[in-house]
Amino acid sequence: MPARAKKALAYGAAIAALLGVFVLYTRPQMMVALSDFMWACFN
């Protein structure tokens, strides 16, 4: 695989991950579940 294709694939994966995180932040129930998980993890 050429270096240019690897770079394009890496950028595409990073953009997809960032968009996925953005979508999760727009869902309030997901944020509540995440905060409950973090609270249970360290409590």
* 21-36 tens-digit pLDDT: 899 888 889 889 989 9
Task: Kindly state the average pLDDT of the residues 9-23.
Answer: 95
Q: Is the pTM of this model over 0.75?
A: no
Q: E strands of 1-43, at which residues? A: none
Determine contact, residues 24/30, Cβ cutoff 8 Å. yes
